[in-house]
Amino acid sequence: MNDLESVEAPVEAKGLPVLAAPTPNLPAVRPAEKDMRRKRRLPVVLGIVVLAGAAIGGWYWWQQSQAGLPAGIASGNGRIEADQIAIATKFSGRVAEILADEGDMVTAGQVVARMDTRDLEATMNRDEARLRQARQALDEARANVGQQRSRVDLAQRELDRTQALVRRGFATEELFDQRRQQLEGAAAELAAFEARAGQAEHALDAAMHDLHLDQVNIADNTLVAPKDGRIQYRLANVGEVLSAGGKVYTMLDTAYVYMDVFLPTAEAGRAVLGTGARIVLDALPDVPIPATVVFVAAQAQFTPKAVETRAERDKLMFRVRVRIDPALLRAHAAEVRSGLPGVAYLRLDPAAAWPAFLEPRAGA
């Protein structure tokens, strides 16, 4: 028996517990802390798995959807969108009337709201008074010009008679010089009166322009729909004070409805402006909507600009916009919705025939 055993034996014999010596420089890890770490990592791992699954599933769905289409037809999913138009104030002011509400169909030129224009009307009344004053000043100036022209004519006739008398010896040269001086003075006064009449005409024009500007500003405070469409949001109420450019409504232009889709390089390169397309909405799967390609992006959306390998170039996705026929939209303006998901099909080969499910329905 070694020395250590000889020391430990009496301790065990006495029935006392033996304490093991702690291992140096090794921190103790509690089981609760290990569980907490596992719980923190679990959501991250699950999120990565879900994202990867979604990406793989999306790619698989796209590949399957393309595989089911005839040659020369490509597709991409997206949402129906319509151009949004802001109906806003030109000047700061208080909302006086609200004449349309969310969801209302409006026509171009329809009055949808009015702003308080009492200050502009007061300015217009003042400018109308100035206009009347300018007209009176012009009338007076023109009268003065006419009167002075009569004086010039009289002075000219007196000068002519005096000249004839001088030739016959019945008048002196001094009288002739006096008559000529009178004519020159009358002519100078006529020029001054004509200048004043010109100033009065300019003042009248300025007053008319001021009045016209007042009328334009008052008219601009009557808000009208710029196009046919639907009111999407009403952003102000009666009595609210808005700054210049404050929005009162947001409306949808029902004549410009489109869907943006993304196509890979090989298919986007064959899509040209004017290419025929069909849009099938999830809400109306049996109603293919005729459309046309109106935009093809010049740059890829999903990968960097510099791509070195063919495999990487095949992953490039380009945005393509297909627009619904405006004539069809005008006939079904009340049915236009924004945000509906669906699929756009593009006929990249003009000789390709549309599948039966994409042929337009009678009465559509």
CB 347 within 8 A of CB 354: yes
From CA 127, how far away is CA 177, in angstroms rounded? Answer: 50
Determine the pLDDT at residue 142.
95
Nearest to 75 by CA among 94, 61, 89: 61
Task: Give every CB contact of residue 338 below 8 A, 6+ residues apart in sequence.
Answer: 80, 81, 82, 232, 252, 257
Q: How far is CA 314 from the centre of its chain?
A: 35
Predicted local confidence at residue 9, as pLDDT? 43
Q: Which residues contact 358 (CB under 8 A, 6 or more apart)?
A: 278, 280, 288, 345
Pick out the chain residues at pLDDT < 50. Answer: 1-24, 26-29, 55, 58-67
What are 327's two structure tokens?
A: 């004539």
Q: What are phi and psi of 295, to 5 degrees?
A: -155, 140
- What 8-state DSSP symbol labels residue 47? H
Give the separation between CA 80 and CA 333, rounded to whole angstroms.
Answer: 14
Q: Which CATH architecture has domain 86-115+222-242?
A: Beta Barrel (2.40)
pLDDT of residue 92: 94
The number of angstroms, rounded, from the C-alpha of 176 to the middle of its chain's C-alpha atoms is 78
At the topology level, CATH places domain 68-84+256-358 in Elongation Factor Tu (Ef-tu); domain 3 (2.40.30)
- How many CA atoms, within 13 angstroms, populate the side-chain half-sphere of residue 7? 4
- What is the predicted pLDDT for the residue at 1? 42
221, 93 in Cβ contact below 8 A? Answer: yes
Q: What is the pLDDT of residue 88?
A: 96
CB neighbours of residue 281 within 10 Å: 17
pTM, 2 dp: 0.63
Domain residue spans in the chain? Answer: 68-84+256-358, 86-115+222-242, 118-220
Name residue, tokens 């008398």. Answer: 165
| Cβ atoms within 10 Å, residue 226 | 15
Tokens, residue 212: 């016209």
Among 324, 342, 320, 322, smallest CA distance to 270 is for 320
Q: What does the pLDDT read at residue 235?
A: 95
Helical packing angle, 173-220 and 118-168, nearest 10°: 170
Residue 43 is predicted with a pLDDT of: 64
